[in-house]
Structure 1
Amino acid sequence: MSVSALPDNQIPPPSGTVPPRRRRRELNPPAAFAALAVVFVLFMAASSAPSPLYVVYQQRWDFSATTLTTVFAVYVLGMIAALLVLGALSDHLGRRPVLLSAIALEAASMAVFLVADSVSLLLVARLVQGVATGAAMTALGAALADLNPAHAPHRAGLVTGAAPTFGLGLGALGCGILVEYGPHPTRLVYVLLLAALLPAAAAVAALPETSLRRPGAARSLQPRLKVASHLRADLLRLVPILVASWALGGLYLSLGPSVAAGLFGLSSHVVGGLVVTLLTVPACLTAIALRGRPVSHTLALGAGLLLAGTLVALTGIEADSLLTAALGTVVAGVGFGASALATFGTLARMAAPSERGELFSVAFVISYLSFSVPAVVAGIATTHIGLHETSVAYAATVAFLAALALLAQWLRSRQAPDRGTCPQT
């Protein structure tokens, strides 16, 4: 029996040991699941919080768009390195110690952000934050799948699909408001995030351990991308939509506030945060609204709306129409949410507990390479050919990728009907 199929009040003891007496401070499985969801949102909110600040840093330290997107990409570099090295570690040591270590690293990155007075320190902070987030994400995804309540076996997929988009939007908008109206614009958000990490650490320390300890932890640290052979075909089918959706997200989180200021003349930092929120909040709401729908339908819907929304936003940029660009962003956000729901929901249900850490690691590497590499290329292009031309070329490329994803899903649906459903509560 898999861990996710166990009743809510039953967590397996480590193999070969006498079942330990439940500690008073240990959370019961439903509370532990809720705590993990909140911690997931917190990590993602922290990751997007610097987005509205990039323009502030750029004005204070006078660096180029290439440097701006390099700061953005260093975070993803750290994340991918952690996914490659640490992705399977929680399958060997347990979810709790990996998550506690990730929270400690996240707190260290917040401390560096607080004292940052140069691009160099900003790069260090983002690199450490990337490592922390990468270590946390696979352990969080696997732990949520382990703790799935028996009466709603796909709930972990819903949280894993919705939490990133909700957290990204919350962090960007919250930071934008603090920068615009609060004191110490480049400090306050990090103080608040650092304070939020304290109860997060306490909650993780009280989690029941759901992953059986097994040998091979040191061997698992060798950088690799590994997926069990019986899972590879299903993962490959998800690659086109992963690339299209996360490439769009990378554009909005790296250059979105700059586009709002440079192309539409909107200098408010709240607007910079809203640019990200217009994409991510519809994505989160869509993931909730479409739970229980067949996976094939949801993937096709996601690809189609990504294509349509990107084309509408591109039209808005070309016509200098803020309303059209905003409408396209919302439509693309709905497509992003449908894509995340179906892809991560599929990942959550198709792997055994011992395979989940590695599988989520590979999926997140694909997602965040798509998230970062195009954004860095866009930053270099902005420096040399301009923001408008780069935005148009980037949006056109994302639209092309979305069309490929839609075609791939159509071909797959013709080959074999899909019987799976998206996560539901």
Structure 2
Amino acid sequence: MHRIRLSPPVAFAVVAATFLWFLAASSAPSPLYVVYQERFAFTEFTLTAVFAVYVLALIAALLVVGALSDHVGRRPVLLGAIALEIVALVLFLLADGVGWLLGARIVQGIATGAATATLPAAIVDLAPRPERAGLVNGTAPLAGLGLGGLATGALVEFAPAPTRLVWALLLGGLLVAALLIALIPETVTRSPGALASLRPRLAVPKRVRPGFVAIVPTLVASWSLGGLYLSLGPSVVIGLFGMRNHLVGGLVVAALCLTGAASAYVLRHRAPARVLAPAALLLGLGTLVTLAGTLAGLLPVATAGTLVAGVGFGSAAYATFGTLAALATPHERGELFAATYSLAYLAFSVPAMLAGVAATAVGLRPTALVYGGVVVGLAVVATVLARRVPASATGERVPATTRTG
């Protein structure tokens, strides 16, 4: 008797939706941080610590299980990640102190790390066309982050039980995802080396390295900015601009991430590698305008800057992940995306954690200004270096005489 399996197009849609749902769950705490901070009376440093332990756990998971799906298959790893995410959501539902939040975020980080390494690879495997995979891998994370922040902000402001309802809704959706993921076709043939693949490591296949190196400056600049918005963004709006509506906290995240997702969609027919330099330029320009608005205390100016930075953010996501999508074979993709996301999340977390220390010591305004200035500097470097993209980063064949490592 044959088991029921979803067709590849339906499975592709299911995996893409699961990717979006995981990222929505990961950004859901952002508008809640201010609520938790008031209820549990902790500082900006503790706030960013709760944010950072999630990312550090995620990176650890990427390092350990990043290549596991290349050996045991995509479906088992995804089902394990979903099971851990369910545990994390239950911990959030029960949370009544900082310790619960830390525990929930650590478990969520491990779950998201396993999923983040595997979902993009599964999307590439199941995509009807390579460019469709690049589009989904570039837009789904941003759309998930933006929708998660926006929906949570709305629930906190207008719905009952703000620290409970969002987790119950996410839990329900994840249970549906588990049932559907169990039905997707397996795209990887089991191969030896599963235990050896659990040894923590960061590696990029040799022939992919020129393309990978080309995306690094843009990757670091864009994810560093994202880390600021998702950790301290709502606190900055409330603390520096005096906005007390919790929906605004969600809008801060959405302004960057949903604008980014829309930009990636608009760019879907452009060659990703050609978008790297313009993306970095817009990222820097938008951040500069946001800094000017923050310095002058003008929320409309800061908002306009965030929208411009969002265009750069989404363009960068499309350019980086679109560049990588066609470079690796199926048995290299898990490891490649694990390395990419490890670097991205280091840029996402370490600066944000340092910003939490600085905000506690010297205040939110100088911290936000210095942080933004560093992002602008990175964007300038990324704009220059992106113009030196090697042929391999465009998906073109590299001549046999060209050295790749």
TM-score range, shorter chain: over 0.9
Distance, in Å, in 1 between the alignment partners of 2:258 and 2:333 is 27
- Sort the Cα spacing of 1:416 and 1:198 in 2 relative to 1 into closer, same or farther, 3 A: closer
Q: Percent identity?
A: 57
Displacement, 1:101?
0.5
1:88 to 67, 72, 91: 67
TM-score (norm 2): 0.96
Q: Is the 8 A contact 1:295 1:420 kept in 2?
A: no
Displacement, 1:295?
2.8
- 1:376 aligned residue: 353
Distance, in Å, in 1 between the alignment partners of 2:82 and 2:26 is 13
Distance, in Å, in 2 between the alignment partners of 1:38 and 1:259 is 31
Deviations 1:377-410 (A, max 9, x none): 0000000011000000000000000001001013
- 1:16 aligned residue: none
- 2:161 aligned residue: 184
Displacement, 1:420?
4.6
Distance, in Å, in 2 between the alignment partners of 1:34 and 1:409 is 32
Deviations 1:205-226 (A, max 9, x none): 0000001100110110000011
Displacement, 1:297?
2.6
Runs of 4+ with >2 A deviation: 294-297, 415-421
Q: Is the 8 A contact 2:211 2:393 kept in 1?
A: no
- Sort the Cα spacing of 1:307 and 1:45 in 2 relative to 1 into closer, same or farther, 3 A: same
Q: Is the 8 A contact 2:214 2:393 kept in 1?
A: no
Kindly provide the amino acid, as one letter, of the partner of residue 345 in structure 1: G
Aligned Cα RMSD in Å?
Answer: 1.3
Distance, in Å, in 1 between the alignment partners of 2:155 and 2:102 is 22
Deviations 1:72-113 (A, max 9, x none): 001101100100000000001100000000000000000000
Distance, in Å, in 1 between the alignment partners of 2:99 and 2:75 is 32
Deviations 1:242-271 (A, max 9, x none): 000000000000000000100000011100
Q: Is the 8 A contact 2:289 2:304 kept in 1?
A: yes
Displacement, 1:294?
2.4
- 2:33 aligned residue: 54
Matches within 5 A, 1:152-231: 152-231=129-208
Q: Is the 8 A contact 2:25 2:170 kept in 1?
A: yes
Distance, in Å, in 2 between the alignment partners of 1:22 and 1:286 is 42
- 2:52 aligned residue: 73
Matches within 5 A, 1:327-342: 327-342=304-319
Structure 1: segments with no counterpart, 5+ residues: 1-20
1:282 to 228, 248, 259: 259
Kindly provide the amino acid, as one letter, of the partner of residue 298 in structure 2: S
Distance, in Å, in 2 between the alignment partners of 1:60 and 1:178 is 17
Matched, 1:126 2:108: no
Displacement, 1:57?
0.6
Q: Is the 8 A contact 2:130 2:325 kept in 1?
A: no
TM-score (norm 1): 0.91
Matches within 5 A, 1:108-119: 108-119=87-98
1:41 to 6, 17, 20: 20
Distance, in Å, in 1 between the alignment partners of 2:248 and 2:272 is 34
Deviations 1:302-331 (A, max 9, x none): 001001100000000011110000000000
Q: Is the 8 A contact 2:30 2:250 kept in 1?
A: yes
Matched, 1:248 2:225: yes
Displacement, 1:22?
5.1
Displacement, 1:55?
0.2
Displacement, 1:198?
1.0
- Sort the Cα spacing of 1:388 and 1:200 in 2 relative to 1 into closer, same or farther, 3 A: same
Displacement, 1:296?
3.5
- 1:12 aligned residue: none
Kindly provide the amino acid, as one letter, of the partner of residue 42 in structure 1: W
- 2:121 aligned residue: 142
Q: Is the 8 A contact 1:26 1:208 kept in 2?
A: yes
Kindly provide the amino acid, as one letter, of the partner of residue 257 in structure 1: P
Distance, in Å, in 1 between the alignment partners of 2:281 and 2:260 is 14
